[in-house]
Every structure is written in structure tokens, then in C-alpha cells.
Amino acid sequence: MPFSQKLKWRKKSLLVAIFLLAIYLAPMFILGGNMHIRVHDNLDSNIAWYKVLHDSGELFSPLNSTIPQIINGLPRDAYGTEFSGIQWLYQLFSPVVAYTWSQTITRIFAFLGMYLLLKKHFIKNDDAYPIRVWVSLAFAITPFWPSGMLSTLGQPLALWAFLNIRARKGTWREWLTLTLLPFYSSFILGFFFFLTAMVLLWLRDVIVKKDWNIKFLASIAFMTSLYLAIEYRLVYSLVFPKEPTSRNEFVSSKLHFWHTIRLVFKNYFLGHTHVMTLHTFVIVPLSFIVLWIILKRKTWHEDKRYMQLFILNFVLSVWYAFWFNEMWQPLKEKISLLNTFNFARFHFLRPLIIYVMFAVGCLILWKINNKWKVFVKVCLILQILVLFAANPEIYYRVCHTPSFNQFYAVQQFKQIDHYIGKPKSSYRVASIGIHPAIAQYNGFYTLDTYNNYYPLSYKHQFRKIIAKELDKSPELRDYYDHWGNRCYIFVAELGKHYAFQKTSKKKIHHLDLNIKQFKKMGGRYIFSAVPILNAEQDHLHLLKVFHNKESAWTIYLYEAK
């Protein structure tokens, strides 16, 4: 095929990929607040956090300041840095618009980064451009954790920049990339682990090649320093801890050996909710086919890049699982950092590793003959179909989760506010059967919350409210006492379920809360998504039941007597 014709097809492929990316993103732009998106670690937390911080006016507040709306004074630092790009989207736009543009920005740069990385360093063959294009598109539409921004999906772009600098071919573009990425990604939720990998790569060059490459080392130090400056609140809290936090009671290493082995293979084949690569059905089988061919042809030296990626992918799953093995617990009890910081998250490198491995594996098959080229094209198409089928609008609609508007039920909570008729700051509320983020989003002052950390003293205070319910359920007791980021009104009859929609027939028969402690902490009202049949015996009085056709919930408003 003449070069001009190849160039024409390459451009067409890129245009089609961009069009498909636009199709993938379209439901959010079309539906707005009626879109269906992830609830876990998204609607139930982060989106409400951004809005609470915006409404509080505490974006630039000093270190050690608090946000009164949450738990009678949540440390401002729990909401992260004011230099985060996603926080600024929520400062400038409505939550729906901010979320939509955050998704768009992330996926565009994920595509760009993977395409540049593959073209420059892994898939250089001119005729293999379909691999570059379609693997980049597949990577860009993986169902990443939304508030992670470019923490994982930005890693290919960062690796492109670092590898260019490492090869002494860095320009202003690479340095600009390393400068801007920290403003739209998280250090502790992705790039700490990525930069650690870059340091190991530099050390490998020093040991194996005797190449000190000062510019490469300086680029790593530059990006790390920029992250630490941006995350100054986190750095300050680690260096100058004010008081113990909920993280000090984490007990994460509880798995026995065989449970750990099961987790290794679960993570390897299925992935993790925060880095869901959906590699199970297409990429995993292809990866083993490529491995079989390499071993059969004895080309592991020529194909060492693929072998390195294949092994590293498995090693990351092993590391992830064994971080939760019981052998670590004695050491974690002695060294608090091992308990409060999740070093298992090296597996956040897996999206990058898996999709580069996918591309390199496709190239190995591509080079064999035309039949394998057809096979590769089929695999690329199938992977994109798998990812399109997992589009949030499809997946969460099929799962019957509420839309954005149904979840936050703004009009319904306005009715509740109007009925109570008092300034929200004059009383405190808690929720049963629904996430407290809903009340927080609607401006109510809550005693319950879901946050990455908060004062340990508050956790112990709040526990007195739910102590008898925790005694009924060993599972809930372990969940609260040994983790506790969800500081919820747990009810044994409900278990670890926090989203009882209005279609639910669930009822609470024997609620046993310490209402005296609830009132002592300022609590006045409870928003329950299910009826409490023994409310009066538990010193709760039903005031009114609130229905709204645009809400996912029926809200039973109880007042503490």
C-alpha cells in the first residue's frame, strides 16, 4: 500500500476513534442530571465533598481549620488541596457540568497519552497503526474511578514524557506535561506509585548501564516536588500530625494464606473497582496466546518487553493481595505509616501495564501473517465492544441505580428543609438506609459521614450511638471498628446496605440506638429510607413521610425525643 494511502487510512482511523469517544461521552452531555453514573466512591462521597467545600467558602482556609457542616467540624484538610483541577471545575460549574467535563478531559488525555506512548516507544511499525489507535481508544474508555482524574489514565502521557527525557530527547512539551499533570491527578492515588516505578527504572539504568542520566533523575524529582507542593495539606498532616485519626485504627491485614492466593487471582483476572480495566474476556486470553507462541518459538529474548510486562502484571496482583495478608499486621501495628497509607495501590499501575501489554501482544501476532492480523483486529473490536457495553449509562441503568438527580433528590430535601423550618446550622441530622452524602449535598449538617479520615475521638463518640446495633452484628462491628471511614448509623437488620430505594419493602423492627448520645452530639432529626416500627420505644417520633416522583427515596423524618 502506498505511503499516501496508508496516511489517509491512518487519519480516517483516528477520526473514527475520536468520533467513537464522543459517542461514549455523549449520554452525559445529552442527559445532564438524568445521567446514570457510579455510586460507590462517587455519588456517595466525592461529588458531595466537592459541593460541601464549595458551599463552605473554606477552599483556601488555613491549615487545621474545620468545616462545621460535617461531624461538628471536619478538618478542612480531609477535603484535599485547593490546587486540584477537579475541585476548580466544581467551583466554577454546577456539579453535573463539572462531572461531565472532568470525564471528558480525563478521557481525551488518556487517549492522547496512550497514542503518543505507543507510537513513540512500543508500536512504531507504520502498518500497525490500527493497534495504536484502537488500544488507545480502549484505554481511554475504561471505567476508571472518576475522582482519580488522570491518576491512572494519565500515566501513559507521563511515561511518554519520562521515556523521551530518559532517551535525552526531551523538549518543552515533555516538561510541560510533567508540570501540568500534577494539577489534574492525585499523588497518593496513582502517581506516588508511578514515580516510585520511575525511580526504580533510573536505578536500573545506573546499575545495568552505568548511566546516571541526571536529567532523567531531575525530571522525576521535579514532578515529585511539584506534587508535594500541591498536596501541602497532606504533607503537613503527615509531618505534623495534630491528633490520631480514624486511619489509626485500620486493621487491613487479616487474610490467611489461601484467602490471599484467591485474592491474587481475583485481582489478576477481574481487576479492582478503582482501576477496572475490563481485561478479563479479551485481553487475558490474548495475553496467554501470545505467551504460548513466544514459548513455542523460543523468542523470549526478542520479545522480552512483552515478557517483562506479562510478569510485572502478575507481580502487581501478588503484591496487592499479600499486602492484606496477616503476616503484615504485627509490623503495621509498630509502624503507623504502613497502616495509614495503602501501599497495596501499586496495582494502580496495572491499567497502564495491561493495555501496553495488550498492544505489544497484538503487534507480536500482527507480524506473523495475515490470519493473525485478522485475529488481532477482531480482538481490538471485541475489547472496544466490551468497554462500550460497560458505559456507565448502560451499566448503571441496567443495575437500576438512581440517576444523578434521583440520587441527590434536591426537591425532596427542600421540602424536608421547609417542613423543619429552622436554619440548618441550628441542628444536626443523621441518615439510615441512605448515604449521608445526600443530606450533605443538600446543605444539612450531619453527624454521620463518609471520609478518608477524621478525628479518632469523634469515631469513638459516634460509636456510642450505634454500639448496641454493632453488638448485634460481628460483621458491622468489625467494619466500623477496624475501618470506620463510613461513620454511619449502622443497623444490624439492614447490614452493609445504604441505598434502600422507594421500591424497597424493607422495615426495621428492632432499632436500638443511644438517642441520648445522639442528642448530646447535637442530633435532632433522622432521615430514614425505611420505616422504623419500634421508633417510639427508641425515643424517635415520626413527623412526616416525604414522597417525590423525581427522587429515588421515600424519606421518613424522625425527631429525637
H/E stretch holding 302 reads: none
Which three cell numbers, joined as nine digits, stand for 461? Answer: 463518640
Closest to 286 (Cα-Cα) out of 350, 354, 347: 354
User: Tens digits of per-residue pLDDT, 429-476?
Assistant: 999 999 999 999 999 999 999 998 899 999 999 999 999 999 999 999
pTM: 0.94
> How does DSSP assign 35-62, residue by residue?
----IIIIITTHHHHHHHHHHHT-TTPP
Q: What is the pLDDT of residue 5?
A: 64
Whether 235 and 228 have beta carbons less than 8 Å apart is answered as yes
Q: What is the pLDDT of residue 465?
A: 97
Q: CA 272, 484, 339 angle in degrees (round to 5)?
A: 70
H/E stretch holding 75 reads: strand 74-75
Closest to 456 (Cα-Cα) out of 248, 255, 291, 174: 248
DSSP-derived 3-state class of residue 124? coil
330 Cβ neighbours under 8 A, 6+ residues apart = none
DSSP-derived 3-state class of residue 508? strand
Q: What is the pLDDT of residue 3?
A: 55
* Residues of the chain scoring pLDDT < 50: none
Q: What is the pLDDT of residue 2?
A: 58
Q: What is the pLDDT of residue 125?
A: 87
Running DSSP on this structure, what letter comes out for residue 399? Answer: T
Give the helix ranges, DSSP H, for 231-299.
232-239, 257-270, 283-297
Closest to 150 (Cα-Cα) out of 185, 104, 195: 185
Closest to 546 (Cα-Cα) out of 417, 449, 430: 417
Closest to 476 (Cα-Cα) out of 493, 499, 464, 460: 493
